[in-house]
Amino acid sequence: MNLTKIRRVLIRNRGEIRRLAKQLGVTPTTVSQVLKGRSISKRILEAAAARAAELEFGGVRQEQ
C-alpha cells in the first residue's frame, strides 16, 4: 500500500490520524507530515500502514 492510499484511508475514517498519533505518542501533524512524504519515520509509517490495512480490508492484511 503506497503513501497516497494509506493517507486516503486514514482521512476517510474520521479521527484515525488523531487516534494513531495518540497511540504513538506524537502529534497528528507529525503523522500527516510522514504521510505526505515531508518527513521520514519508519515507526509511524508501519503503524499507519497496518491501521489502514485493517480499516481497508477488515483486519485481513494483504501483501502486494
Q: Does residue 43 fall inside a structural domain?
A: yes
- Is residue 64 a part of any domain in this protein? no
In a domain, residue 63? The reply is no
Query: Is residue 52 a part of any domain in this protein?
Result: yes
pLDDT per residue as tens, the chain (64 positions): 788 899 999 999 889 999 999 999 999 999 999 999 999 999 999 999 999 999 888 755 544 4
Does residue 42 form part of some domain? yes
Whether 44 contacts 30, CB under 8 Å: yes
- R_g over Cα of the chain: 11
Structural domain including 46 reads 3-57
Q: What is the pLDDT of residue 64?
A: 46
10 inside domain: yes
Give me the pLDDT at residue 59, please.
56
**Number of independent structural domains in the chain:** 1
Distance of CA 18 to the CA centre of its chain: 10
